[in-house]
Amino acid sequence: MLSALDLARRIDAGELKSLQAIELAAEVIAAREGEVQAFAALDLDAARTAASEQRQGPLRGQSIGFKDVFDTADLPTAYGSALYAGHRPATDAALVAMARQAGGITLGKTVTAAFAHLDPGPTRNPHRLTHTPGGSSSGSAAAVAAGMLSIAIGTQTGGSTIRPASFCGVAAFKPSFNLLPTVGVKCVSWHLDTVGLFAAGVADVAFAAAALTGRDLRVDDRSEGPPRIGVLREPPWPQAGVDMLAAVETAIDAAGRAGAPCADLTLPPIFSEMFKAHATIHAYEAARAFAFENDRHRDALGPALLKLIDDGQAISHDAYDDARALTSRARRQTADLFEDIDIILSPSAPGVAPEGLSTTGTSTFNRVWTLMGVPCVNIPGLSDASGLPLGVQAIGRFGRDRQTLQAGLFIESVIARRNR
């Protein structure tokens, strides 16, 4: 994989030019894109031109891809649907322009499940081509995993960032809600849609977040003590498969040996209602967000999206208002969960990437945290016996994004030391 931080250091040191860094990505794309199919659009010539302009900024030389739900003025934007094939927006999404202002080079658009929901795209898992890369940010996760991009941007409304990162063995960061702007991103649910970032390791994804926002989010340049970890092992928390449970225990064990206290955590009863609250808000808002497509182009929508819209239209206003009120209460209780711990450690997904490309897996371990708006980090480094990646997830307190990334880096490090 291309470590964004490593590229930045080599460029800063004058060992690598921006254009050379882009060629590193281009070489891998030439070798692997044919089988991985991570890109919905690609313009390497434009990227080379931009890179040779010697732009300044912390992201110079970084090869960046945006999930194809971000509007781009210079690249087609199809939202993963034939309905918008060849569509060229007049405006860049805010984050696309922010990446350019920070010196980043956008190579292309990455495959998304149709409209960032469940109807899958063509992308394959670079670790095993017969398996899904996960979704809906399929291409973003796969492109970083294959070494075709140093930074990829996706979104998460249910589990669309953390899950594919887990399946593809890359780091991902779903920040606190609204930390990264969704302006110019095709909307599914305005209370849930969250921008997510992908990079090789946790320090890389933190570097990307810091560079995009200008916020103090880097974790490579400081060291902090071991995080206090809370572990969810009980219902209502869902169960993961044997391999994933073993991976979580491995992470807990390695963290414990390195001095991180781990305590069992029980979620308050309100959390058992949060799965339904998420489903209610997701569908109700999607039915409105896709009012145009539903009114004019129903025939062009996939079965999963149609079901979401129809479900959403059947939800009463009262049920939606209740779900939002319940969510507000649960968010306050979530803050209390972090009184004595820095992160919750959890599976990122039920297990490894499922075989086949007809589904992108489930977001059981992600949806509630998306709804809570709290920062989540997928930590790569573990795998099953066959070598398929298993990600574990650090979940932090709202607004404590750097601390959550720091804890993720700690766990990533102790896992890596154990692997050696």
Instruction: Give contact residues for a copy of itself (rule: CB under 8 A).
Output: 73, 84, 87, 89-98, 100-101, 178, 181-184, 187, 190-191, 213-216, 285, 288-296, 317, 321, 399
Helix and strand numbers (H, E) in the chain are 14, 11
Please say which residue, 31 or 291, places its beta carbon nearer to a copy of itself: 291
192/395 Cα distance (integer angstroms): 16
Instruction: Give the nearest distance from C-beta 420 to a copy of itself in angstroms.
Output: 37
H or E stretch including 8? helix 4-12
Instruction: Give the nearest distance from C-beta 74 to a copy of itself in angstroms.
Output: 10
Please say which residue, 31 or 335, places its beta carbon nearer to a copy of itself: 335
CB burial of residue 304 (10 Å; 0-12, 13-18, 19+): middle
Question: What single-letter amino acid sits at 180?
Answer: L
364/358 Cα distance (integer angstroms): 18
Please say which residue, 141 or 289, places its beta carbon nearer to a copy of itself: 289
Place of tokens 């209602």: 273
Please say which residue, 288 or 307, places its beta carbon nearer to a copy of itself: 288
Please say which residue, 257 or 329, places its beta carbon nearer to a copy of itself: 329
Sign of CA dihedral 47, 48, 52, 54: positive
Please say which residue, 57 or 226, places its beta carbon nearer to a copy of itself: 57
Please say which residue, 87 or 417, places its beta carbon nearer to a copy of itself: 87
Instruction: Give the nearest distance from C-beta 373 to a copy of itself in angstroms.
Output: 12
Instruction: Give the nearest distance from C-beta 112 to a copy of itself in angstroms.
Output: 16
Instruction: Give the nearest distance from C-beta 413 to a copy of itself in angstroms.
Output: 27
Please say which residue, 71 or 273, places its beta carbon nearer to a copy of itself: 71
297/350 Cα distance (integer angstroms): 35
Instruction: Give the nearest distance from C-beta 139 to a copy of itself in angstroms.
Output: 21
Instruction: Give the nearest distance from C-beta 186 to a copy of itself in angstroms.
Output: 9
Provide CB contacts within 8 A for 243, sequence distance 6+. 351, 352, 384, 385, 390
CA-based diameter of the chain, in Å?
61
CB burial of residue 244 (10 Å; 0-12, 13-18, 19+): buried
Name the residue among 143, 117, 251, 240 with its Cα closest to residue 197: 143
Question: Would you say how long the chain is, in residues?
Answer: 420
Instruction: Give the nearest distance from C-beta 95 to a copy of itself in angstroms.
Output: 8
Name the residue among 31, 29, 59 with its Cα closest to residue 44: 29
